[in-house]
């Protein structure tokens, strides 16, 4: 019978495998030699494709959210039909401006913003902040038209959570003073700074900060506050701009009926009674009775 020499067969198999691997290696080396010079061109092509995809994505977003390239100016900000696009719902457009960028009559460098609770004051601050950031990035902003002043800094000063201790208050005041007295071109968006201490003292502190900010020619400042009359009294000025967002009542769905665009030179009330009225309608049991009593107190004041 025939016999197989396994050792010889294994040797042939190993030799064939070695030859195949050598040929594969030679083939890869030859390909690398041919493709090597193309690597820089490929890297440039990939980089350009990534950039093209980036700008295409921006263009699609700008078209979807009806954005426009802003005009960059020297000072202030003005938005026509500006929209806050991160609310998760269809935003109400707002036309508003400050500084040299604004329309004639609205070119004051600072303003107090008053008005209804849940009326959109903080949302307007955020909308202006987003527009400032997008404009300085060279990107379109969510508005029909926009003029944005060139700044070196954007300061967003949020409300504090309750009355602060002496040490915390001191630190806060130092930080505020540093911001408002700095001559660097900047936009300051402040939300209810009076929360740092009791209302009377808060109004006087804010008044001082406002006057310091006004003295800086390249500073634009918008302050949301519920203490506008007290602040004006503390400044002893009657020419400071006060704008207001007015609520006219509650709709059938218990939502506030609000004109989100601030009225110029108008001191608007906070209208907390509308919020209480909504709670009366939405609540049950003891809570409903309590809110009803509170609403009655508002009626007695009127």
pLDDT tens-digit profile of 50-83? 999 999 999 999 999 999 999 999 899 999 999 9
CATH homologous superfamily, domain 69-270:
P-loop containing nucleotide triphosphate hydrolases (3.40.50.300)
Are 175 and 181 in contact by the 8 Å Cβ rule? The answer is no
CA distance 148 to 132: 7
Give me 121's structure tokens.
Answer: 């004051």
The pLDDT value recorded for residue 274 is 80
Residues of the chain falling short of pLDDT 50: none
The pLDDT value recorded for residue 219 is 93
CA distance 221 to 176: 13
Domain boundaries, the chain: 6-59, 69-270
Q: Assign 255 to helix, strand or coil.
A: coil
Q: Which among 42, 222, 231 has a CA at the least distance from the CA of 149?
A: 222
85: left (phi over 0), alpha (psi -120 to 50) or beta: alpha
Dmax over CA atoms of the chain, in Å, equals 122
The pLDDT value recorded for residue 284 is 84
């Amino acid at each position: 019978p025939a016999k197989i020499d396994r050792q010889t067969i294994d040797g042939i198999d190993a030799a064939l495998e070695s030859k195949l691997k050598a040929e594969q290696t030679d083939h890869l080396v030859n390909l690398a030699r041919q493709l090597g010079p193309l690597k820089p061109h490929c890297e440039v092509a990939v980089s350009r494709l990534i950039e093209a995809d980036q700008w295409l994505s921006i263009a699609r977003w700008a078209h979807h959210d009806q954005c426009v390239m802003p005009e960059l100016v020297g000072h202030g900000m003005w938005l026509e039909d500006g929209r806050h696009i991160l609310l998760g719902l269809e935003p109400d457009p707002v036309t508003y401006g400050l500084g040299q960028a604004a329309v004639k009559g609205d070119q004051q460098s600072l303003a107090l913003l008053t008005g209804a609770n849940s009326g959109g004051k903080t949302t307007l601050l955020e909308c202006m902040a987003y527009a400032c950031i997008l404009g300085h990035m060279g990107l379109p902003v969510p508005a029909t038209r926009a003029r944005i002043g060139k700044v070196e800094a954007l300061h967003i000063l949020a409300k504090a959570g309750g009355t602060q201790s002496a040490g915390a208050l001191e630190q806060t005041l130092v930080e505020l003073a540093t911001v408002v007295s700095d001559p660097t071109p900047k936009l300051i968006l402040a939300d209810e700074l009076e929360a740092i201490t009791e209302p009377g003292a808060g109004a006087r502190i804010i008044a001082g900060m406002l006057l310091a900010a006004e003295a800086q020619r390249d500073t634009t400042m918008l302050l949301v506050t519920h203490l506008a009359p007290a602040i004006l009294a503390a400044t002893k000025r009657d020419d400071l701009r006060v704008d207001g967002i007015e609520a006219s009542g509650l709709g059938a769905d218990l939502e506030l009926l609000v004109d989100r665009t601030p009225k110029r030179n108008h001191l608007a009330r906070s209208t907390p009674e509308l919020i209480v009225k909504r709670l009366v309608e939405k609540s049950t049991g003891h809570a409903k009775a309590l809110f009803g009593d509170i609403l009655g107190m508002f009626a007695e004041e009127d």
